[in-house]
Amino acid sequence: MSCYNLAVKSSGFFYSEPITEYLTRRIRVDKIYFQRRTRFQFAECFYNPFFGKVLFLDSKIQSAQVDEYIYHESLVHPALLTHPLPRKVLVIGGGEGATLREILRHECIKKVIMVDIDRELVKLCQKHLPEWSAGAFSNPKTRLIFEDARQFVEKARSKFEIIISDLSEPVEEGPSVYLFTKEFFKKISEALEEDGLFILQAGSTDPAYHQFFCSLVKTAEKVFPLVRPYWAFILSFGQPWGFVLASKKYDPLAADEREIARRVRERRMAKMRYYHPGLHKGYFALPLYLTKSLKKGKVLTDKKPFIWRI
């Protein structure tokens, strides 16, 4: 592990994760799978008896075996089930492959393109975290491209019903800083069909550190006619987590539970562990502190992007 994060205690090795400048949590390490600086970020993966396998990028937790399905089902299914018949999906990021896995549950999907800049990270995940992708990388519907996502979207000729942003958060000198700006969102809109939807993971929605989330909502509203923020609690993150659904046409709150259930049956979706039709609208019920703070969000631009410095 990175030397400044790994400490030896009498009971074994512990990984120290900085949550804020005032708060750090310790996670026991029973086995190290890899620790490697790729061309773009520092990647670490280890085993903890409670979390299972855990992936960190630049000292920030990305995914844990105990609950990754909550994050990935929440990221994928609200949007795909809002669209009546999605066939072609673009994933930006998504290194572990679990976002692909969830998309491919929908039998109506004909093609999924995943664009990730970090080839080495994806290969590490394929080797050490095969439970996440569950064969999605080798599915004939999947096409994997190693390229800068912004360049790919800007030159894309075909259009998509769904584009999903499953990126790491924008840390200084990280690979995703300029993938959360108004200029990029405009390019995303151009790459979508006329009835397309854009979904992105949007960071923490806890009472103290939800500025990124609120700014993403504000930024998306400058580009898309309909924006619906939502959230879910992610145990391994230790906090509620935000998502933003931006739509050209379809409102996720317009389809009732029976219609969502019908689409689940028609698409032969099975073995979900978190998402269900009755939960669909519940995702979008936000607490007062968030709804009030949404008004204070800042429009993110290439000149003034958001960068986490914790």
Q: What is the CATH number of the domain that holds 48?
A: 2.30.140.10
Please list the active-site residues.
166
| 200-239 per-position pLDDT tens digit | 999 999 999 999 999 999 999 999 999 999 999 999 999 9
Q: Taking a C-beta distance cutoff of 8 angstroms, is the pair 110, 87 a contact?
A: yes
Query: How is the beta sheet containing 23-29 ordered, strand by strand?
Result: 6-9, 12-20, 23-29
pTM of the predicted model as reported, rounded to 2 decimal places: 0.94
Answer yes or no: is 3 within a domain.
no
Question: Do residues 98 and 143 both lie within one domain?
Answer: yes
Query: Is residue 10 very low, low, confident or very high in pLDDT (cuts 50, 70, 90)?
Result: very low
Mean pLDDT, residues 275-282: 96
* Statement to judge: residues 279 and 149 lie in one domain: yes
* Whether residue 290 has pLDDT greater than 90: yes
**Residue 5 counted as domain residue:** no
- Total domains in the fold of the chain: 2
Report whether 204 contacts 247 (CB < 8 A).
no
* Average pLDDT of the chain, as a whole number: 93
For residue 237, tell me if it sits in a domain: yes
Domain that holds residue 41: 13-64
Q: Which residue has the higher pLDDT, 290 or 175?
A: 290
pLDDT of residue 270: 83
Using pLDDT thresholds of 50, 70 and 90, give the confidence band for residue 5.
low
Classify residue 96: in a domain, yes or no: yes
Does 95 lie in the same domain as 37?
no
Q: How confident is the model at residue 7 (pLDDT cuts 50, 70, 90)?
A: low
At 309, the pLDDT band (50, 70, 90 cuts) reads low
Instruction: Give the pLDDT confidence score for residue 161 in this predicted structure.
Output: 98
Domain contains 4: no
Distance CA 200, CA 305 (A): 16
Non-local CB neighbours of 269 within 8 Å, separated by 6+ positions: 105, 106, 107
Q: Are residues 267 and 154 both part of a single domain?
A: yes
Give the other-Cβ count within 10 Å of 205's Cβ. Answer: 25
